[in-house]
Structure 1
Amino acid sequence: MAGGYAALPNKRVSAANGVEYAYRDTGASAGTGAGTGAVPLVLFQHFRGNLDNWDPALIDALATGRRVVTFDNAGVGGSTGATPDTIEQMARDAIAFLAAMEFGQADLLGFSIGSFVAQQIALVRPAIVRRLVLASSAPKGAAGMHGWAAEVIGAVGTPHTTPEAYLDVFFARSASSLQAGREALRRMYARTDDRDTATTWATREAQYDAVCAWGIPEHALLERLCAIGVPVFVTNGDSDPMILPRYSYLLAGLIPDARLKIYPDSAHGFLFQHHAEFAADVGAFLG
């Protein structure tokens, strides 16, 4: 596709919940080869992220032979409505988007807080989900997930952040990982026209409230995961300071049909650093 993800137009769709969702759709452009009739892959974004915080190189690699849709959930970026402060309501809002897009079934790829939402959808509306990819994820009620470490809050949980702070959380401290991070940032900011609306501080506060509520320790909640009946691919970077890799092992051990991969020399943004390898792994899993 000429221009790839970085050239896709921002689109809007109105849902039954009264929210108008902003989204981008690789299958809506001529010549993608993705095929609009196949099961689409829908991506769920990280904390404070919008349509422009996906690495175009990753989306383009995922969209080889497959329709990929990114969207802003209610109240986020260019979507209308208010951002909920619970993962459960975020999941209901995302289900409304899927219905508005007339997706009877989809593959879901959730990243960070988006992976919490994707888990919830797989539990409350299992018929929608064919396969599930959880990137930098953790189960509800896991011990040690009640909020982030102080250095993570200082880097990404303040009203004004910097590229250096972003790199410090999303990439490892090695020269190769940091260089990959700088290249990913250049790709994300290469688009200058029709960029998505930045997330507000109110959205970030609501999202962090949702993260903290998801992380209140309650061992019994871990049993929920045995109800996820679809194949799941659990992934993370080996040095993620935001959602530690041990939670990926926990997820993979609790979900009946799960496979696990931890990517080396990488952190929260491992899927951007290892975009070609990650996209190939996701393609093989979904196929």
Structure 2
Amino acid sequence: MEIYTHHTAPTQFVEAYGVRFAYRRFGKKEGLPLVFIPHILGNMDSWDPSVTDGLAQGREVILFNNAGIASSSGEVPTTFAEMAKGAGVFIDALGLTKVDVLGFSIGSMIAQNVALERPDLVRKLVIVGSGPRNGDGIPLNPQSQAIFTNKYGNLDDFWIDGFFTASPESQAAGRTFLKRRDARVENRDTPINEKVQPAQFAALTEWGNPVGERFAYLKNIRIPVLVAGGKSDIIFYTINSFYLEQNLPNAQLILYPDAAHGSLFQYPALFVEHTNLFLRG
């Protein structure tokens, strides 16, 4: 039987509630699967193979596109709560009754909602480059506004500016990440269409609105949570990671030095080691 990797796992489909979800599964079929929820404008090819294959050494990894994203059908919801319902529907459609979830950037906000709404489904949560509802500088701060409104000639420069710091070391790590990310050549995912960004930004804007006492909702996420991020995140200010760690009942925090929003892509081996320790612990 062929053992699949990030580069070779075939794209499969499962249908539920009128949506045809695209997904890829690979890794060791032991313990609970780890479901990945990607960043803004991300699809299954947006992940770092060093992270996905690294984590797949010890468990099954599942990458998927939520409704309306890339090769999945349907419409993109305009709130993270609705996106989380879609993620839950997808996981149910695979026949899984318990999973771990890893969410990066807006994926981490969707992941928080999955854990809130489906505490029966999620055992442990890993959130990277994250922020709580009504966090500081959410939806946009001056630095992130400049990045999102800049007319980049090369989209890779957008990811470098958003995910990495200005230091030569971080910039070099960013360029190396892009090469790893783009190394899959066969059966690549469908590009993101023009309807995705407005819907995701609407969800991010809604996430910036206060609802009740600030951060009180986090007390209802009682499962173990690993909060990871960069020391110098300008997409969602790093202070937001502290807010999460302080207000989640069972959370631990790791911040990586000279790193920005894409810390897991700058320190993939270290991130895999820390995540493995957390998931096994």
Does the pair score TM above 0.5?
yes
Q: Secondary structure at the match of 2:23?
A: strand
Aligned mates of 1:101, 1:258 — CA distance in 2: 28
Partner of 1:114: 107
Partner of 1:5: 6
Find 1:170's aligned residue among 151, 156, 163.
163
Shift of 1:242: 0.2
Find 1:72's aligned residue among 50, 54, 65.
65
Residues 188 and 230 of structure 1: is their aligned pair in 2 closer, same or farther, counting only changes over 3 Å? same
Encode CA deviations 1:234-284: one digit per residue, 9 max, x unaligned. 010111110111000000000011000101111111101100000110000
Shift of 1:103: 1.1
Shift of 1:218: 4.4
Shift of 1:86: 0.6
Partner of 1:24: 24
Shift of 1:2: 6.5
CA-based RMSD: 1.7
With normalisation by structure 1, the TM-score equals 0.92
Shift of 1:142: 2.5
Q: In the alignment, is residue 152 of structure 1 matched against residue 139 of structure 2? A: no
Within 5 Å, which residues of 2 pair with 1:96-135?
Answer: 96-135=89-128
- Segment of structure 1 superposing worse, 247-256 or 3-12: 3-12
Find 1:257's aligned residue among 237, 244, 250.
250
Encode CA deviations 1:32-68: one digit per residue, 9 max, x unaligned. xx11x52100011000000010011111111112111
- Segment of structure 1 superposing worse, 184-193 or 213-222: 213-222
Amino acid at match of 1:22: A
Shift of 1:196: 0.5
Aligned mates of 2:188, 2:149 — CA distance in 1: 22
Partner of 2:187: 194
Within 5 Å, which residues of 2 pair with 1:226-265?
Answer: 226-265=219-258
Give the fraction of aligned pairs with identical amino acids, expressed as a percent: 38
8 Å CA contact 2:55, 2:272 repeated in 1 = yes
- Segment of structure 1 superposing worse, 189-198 or 45-54: 189-198
Aligned mates of 1:123, 1:41 — CA distance in 2: 17
Q: Secondary structure at the match of 1:104?
A: coil
Q: In the alignment, is residue 223 of structure 1 matched against residue 216 of structure 2? A: yes
8 Å CA contact 1:109, 1:132 repeated in 2 = yes
Aligned mates of 1:24, 1:150 — CA distance in 2: 36
With normalisation by structure 2, the TM-score equals 0.94
Partner of 1:30: none
Encode CA deviations 1:190-234: one digit per residue, 9 max, x unaligned. 222211011112111100110010012446141111111110000
Aligned mates of 1:81, 1:189 — CA distance in 2: 26
How many residues align structurally?
A: 278
